[in-house]
Amino acid sequence: MKFPISLVQKHFNSPLGPIILVASDQALVGAWFDDQEHLPIEIQGRSAWHNAPEHPVLRHASRQFKEYFDGQRKVFELPLDLSYGTAFQQAVWQVLLKIPLGHTCCYADVASAIAKPKAMRAVGAAVGRNPLSIIVPCHRVIGADGSLTGYAGGLERKTYLLQLEGGQNPQETLL
């Protein structure tokens, strides 16, 4: 993914470490742990984006992340821009947005939901490149056997997030 230089950023200190929040004028574009896999090139090393802690979208995102980690927020209510992914990635991310809090699903469920039941590996790659960690809940996708597999932010963070949300087994989720 290639992002424009015109975006702005703010760092949010979460219980799981710093999260880099990135926004355009009107929507949240990214939320990455500062040490996760698949960081955009624009923030590897030194960020190309201007710090804008008072940007309205970034302020709202910070507030909602705090409420989420404090157990006071179950749903994020922010304008999101997922347009920087491929059409396939965007389709996967839209499915992830439908996984309810406290539930999980497996990669095969996501592949079926986008009418590509044999594309589980491609789904896994798209899930791993989700630009809006936690908000687009890629941490709710687990292995078909219920195991915690892959998370760009690390399995310890995935475990924490699922425990925070009271995660359940994949069989209990309807996509």
Tell me the catalytic residues. Answer: 138
Residue 141 host element (H or E) = strand 141-142
User: How far is 38 from 106, CA to CA, in rounded Å?
Assistant: 21
Q: Which residues contact 102 (CB under 8 A, 6 or more apart)?
A: 165, 166, 167, 168
Residue type, 88: F
- Per DSSP, the chain holds a count of helices (H) and strands (E) of 5, 6
Cβ contacts of 141 within 8 Å, gap of 6 or more = 96, 99, 104, 105, 106, 107, 110, 127
Can you tell me the distance from the alpha carbon of 122 to that of 86, in angstroms, rounded to the nearest whole number? Answer: 12
Return d(Cα 25, Cα 16) in angstroms, integer. Answer: 27
